[in-house]
Amino acid sequence: MFADERQQLIADLARRDGRVVVTTLAAELDVAPETVRRDLDALATQGLVRRVHGGAVPVDETSGSEAPVAQRALEHAEAKTRIARTALSLLPEGRSSVVLDAGTTTAQLAEVLPARSELLVVTNAVPIAARLGVTHPGEVHLLGGRVRGVTQATVGETGVRQLERLRTDVAFLGSDGITVEHGLSTPDQSEASVKRAMHRSARSVVALVDSSKIGRELLHCFARLDDVDVVVTDTGIDARALAALEQTGVRVMTA
């Protein structure tokens, strides 16, 4: 296989899988790791990938476009429901407060929240606030700010300042990507700022991420893994990825 053919294949794999790893590519393509690294450097020069520790991610994965929330809700829906039900065991007891960020898995958690009047919910997700405002007997607080149409989330300094004055019990956060090196990440800076303020406001942080997000790195990191207490994912997670997460000390629950 010629170098240009190999590089095209690597670029295609990066777009398909969201990440390529040097050692894996070397084994699959039967070339030396140094050859793969040169290929990745060439692709990075062309603007097709961005180099990360141990491999590369496609440029559109780090900067990219976001699918509308209605479309994302249909992706991996069964896994997200299982994750949400598993996360119920992490709800605090008695009079307590939780933060739910704007995401499709956190929206599933909102669907199955117990009807407890002593449970206060803070969110920046307009759909979650609208639903819980009708169905939840406890207080529901929607953070202020500008509404991003694509995610239906409030973002901006208003919400960040509100969160800085809060001390909540648990923050349940979704993420577009999660890796050991880059932590939890999202493509939009304004959403990252709110998510960062959310985890800083909470005594405990729970990441709700289906297995398709494992190994993905987006442009803006909003939490390192040592900021996170528990990661709840589904059984589709790769065994090596699971071991790598657990080696950081974070608790991983699979649904």
Name the CA dihedral angle for 234, 91, 182, 217, rounded to a multiple of 10 degrees. Answer: 50
Same domain, 75 and 158: yes
Same domain, 56 and 74: no
Using CA atoms, how far apart are residues 119 and 140, in angstroms rounded to an integer?
A: 9
Instruction: Using the 3D structure, point to which of 23, 47, 62 is the last residue of a domain.
Output: 62
Using CA atoms, how far apart are residues 190 and 173, in angstroms rounded to an integer?
A: 15
> What would the two tokens of residue 229 be?
């207490």
Domain holding 133: CATH number? 3.40.50.1360
Same domain, 36 and 74: no
Same domain, 234 and 183: yes
Using CA atoms, how far apart are residues 97 and 166, in angstroms rounded to an integer?
A: 10
Using CA atoms, how far apart are residues 229 and 37, in angstroms rounded to an integer?
A: 34
pLDDT of residue 20: 92
Tokens 């991003």 belong to residue: 148
Same domain, 55 and 159: no
Domain holding 54: CATH number? 1.10.10.10
How does DSSP classify residue 197?
A: H
Contacting residues for 26 by C-beta, under 8 A, at least 6 apart = 32, 33, 35, 36
What is the number of domains present in the chain? 2
Same domain, 83 and 43: no
Using CA atoms, how far apart are residues 139 and 120, in angstroms rounded to an integer?
A: 5
Give the residue numbers spanning the domain of 31.
3-62
Q: Are 77 and 59 in contact (CB under 8 A)?
A: no
Tens place of pLDDT per residue across the chain (255 aa): 888 889 989 988 887 788 899 999 999 999 999 999 999 999 888 777 888 889 998 875 555 556 566 666 666 789 999 999 999 999 999 999 999 999 999 999 999 999 999 999 999 999 999 999 999 999 999 999 999 988 999 999 999 999 999 999 999 999 999 999 999 999 899 999 999 999 999 999 999 999 989 999 998 999 999 999 999 999 999 999 999 999 999 999 999
Same domain, 27 and 85: no
pLDDT of residue 183: 97
Coil, helix or strand at residue 104:
helix
Same domain, 92 and 21: no
Same domain, 43 and 138: no
Q: What is the number of other CB atoms lying within 10 angstroms of the CB of residue 114?
A: 10
Same domain, 216 and 92: yes
Using CA atoms, how far apart are residues 182 and 215, in angstroms rounded to an integer?
A: 9
